[in-house]
């Protein structure tokens, strides 16, 4: 096997210069599946001077998947990285992609770096658009230590592996049309590029970067508002009020409440209704200009109240 690349190699210098790795000497956990993107992540992270631990997660979803760990272990040894392999159990079935991703990051931890590229960013933006996401979803992944390769193209990671003599793992699940992302990659992105008359990936990636900046500004402004102050929320611009309420309702949860729940709470803040209920058995009400959360009444009690007129639909200050 050839030696690892010199850190002064012009190609490596160019690629690393476009990445967002942490400072040299920083410990960095890298999710390395054995595909071209993740192998390139390993190569470039070590060239950037990070103290890399390559972590391979085997979901056990296809025969021979455990052998892919050997590919990663060999690459880690070549580039002087620590290596660990973990196995998780994810049963086939609905929402397989999401469940596998959640299981993987439970093992990797929230700060692990991934090999997502600009192509992945474009796919993410379109997937979130189809799901009805707001500005945060359309901003896609944020560039930084967790996503250091977002300025690179998938073709560049493939070319880097080829030049380094690394043979990436071929994951057939990347061609499984049951998964939305694969259909976006194989069908929607090429169609959008044909319709636009140009490669649409840089356009979507650039748009995501712009919206990420907008999202940061909205987040800073929304933090200036006390979300329990009904008058302050009602007086704020809609985008700011929505964001303040959404953060208040979400708390420590990874999943924000749906837009219709946020809008109903905004109606409570504006005095259009006295209270509303949202998923999770939570009731939001307004009293003396303050919003508060409490446990929603039981279904039996709610039916009893409803027979006399539902106060959640009552207009009042």
Please give the Cα distance from 174 to 176 (Å, whole number).
6
Average pLDDT of the chain, as a whole number:
88
Per-residue pLDDT, 189: 97
Nearest to residue 204, comparing CAs of 219, 182, 185, 189? 189
Q: Which domains, ranges and CATH numbers included, belong to the chain?
A: 1-116+152-172 (3.40.50.620), 118-143+176-215 (no CATH), 223-313 (1.20.59)
Per-residue pLDDT, 102: 72
Please give the Cα distance from 118 to 253 (Å, whole number).
28
pLDDT band at 272 (very low <50, low <70, confident <90, very high): very high
Residue 267 has pLDDT above 80, yes or no: yes
Nearest to residue 291, comparing CAs of 314, 317, 310, 258? 317
pLDDT digits (tens, 9 = 90+) for 279-316: 888 999 999 999 999 998 765 445 444 443 444 444 34
Residue 191 has pLDDT above 50, yes or no: yes
Please give the Cα distance from 140 to 124 (Å, whole number).
6
Please give the Cα distance from 315 to 310 (Å, whole number).
11
Picking from 85-94, 102-111, 201-210, which range would have the lowest pLDDT averaged per residue? Answer: 85-94
CA 51 from centroid of its chain's CA atoms = 24
Q: What percent of the chain has pLDDT over 90?
A: 69
Of residues 176 and 268, the one with the higher pLDDT is: 268
CB 70 within 8 A of CB 80: no
CB 223 within 8 A of CB 246: no
Residue 245 has pLDDT above 90, yes or no: yes
pLDDT digits (tens, 9 = 90+) for 98-114: 676 777 777 888 899 99
pLDDT digits (tens, 9 = 90+) for 2-37: 455 555 688 999 999 999 999 999 999 999 999 999
Whole-model pTM?
A: 0.84
């Amino acid at each position: 096997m050839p030696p690892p690349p010199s850190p002064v190699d012009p190609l490596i210098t160019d690629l690393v210069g476009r990445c967002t790795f942490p400072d040299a000497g920083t410990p960095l956990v890298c999710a390395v599946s054995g595909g071209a993107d993740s192998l390139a992540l390993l190569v470039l992270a070590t060239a950037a001077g990070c103290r890399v631990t390559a972590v391979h997660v085997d979901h056990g979803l296809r025969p021979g998947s455990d052998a892919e760990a050997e590919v990663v272990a060999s690459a880690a040894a070549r580039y002087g990285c620590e290596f660990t392999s973990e196995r998780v159990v994810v049963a086939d079935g609905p929402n397989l992609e999401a469940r596998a991703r959640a299981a993987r990051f439970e093992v990797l931890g929230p700060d692990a770096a991934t090999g997502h590229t600009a192509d992945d960013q474009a796919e993410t933006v379109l997937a979130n658009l189809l799901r009805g996401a707001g500005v945060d979803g359309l901003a896609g992944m944020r560039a930084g230590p967790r996503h250091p390769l977002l300025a690179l193209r998938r073709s560049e990671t493939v070319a880097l592996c080829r030049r380094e003599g690394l043979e990436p793992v071929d994951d057939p699940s990347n061609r499984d049309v049951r998964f939305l992302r694969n259909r976006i990659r194989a069908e929607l992105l090429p169609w959008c590029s044909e319709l636009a008359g140009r490669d649409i990936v840089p356009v979507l990636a650039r748009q995501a970067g712009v919206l990420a900046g907008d999202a940061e500004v909205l987040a800073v402004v929304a933090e200036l508002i006390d979300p329990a102050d009904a008058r302050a929320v009602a007086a704020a611009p809609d985008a700011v009020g929505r964001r303040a309420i959404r953060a208040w309702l979400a708390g420590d949860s990874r999943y924000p409440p749906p837009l219709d729940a946020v809008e109903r709470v905004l109606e409570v803040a504006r005095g259009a209704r006295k209270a509303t209920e949202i998923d999770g058995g939570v009731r939001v009400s307004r009293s003396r200009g303050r919003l508060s959360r409490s446990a929603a009444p039981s279904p039996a009690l709610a039916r009893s109240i409803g027979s006399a007129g539902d106060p959640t639909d009552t207009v009042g200050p």
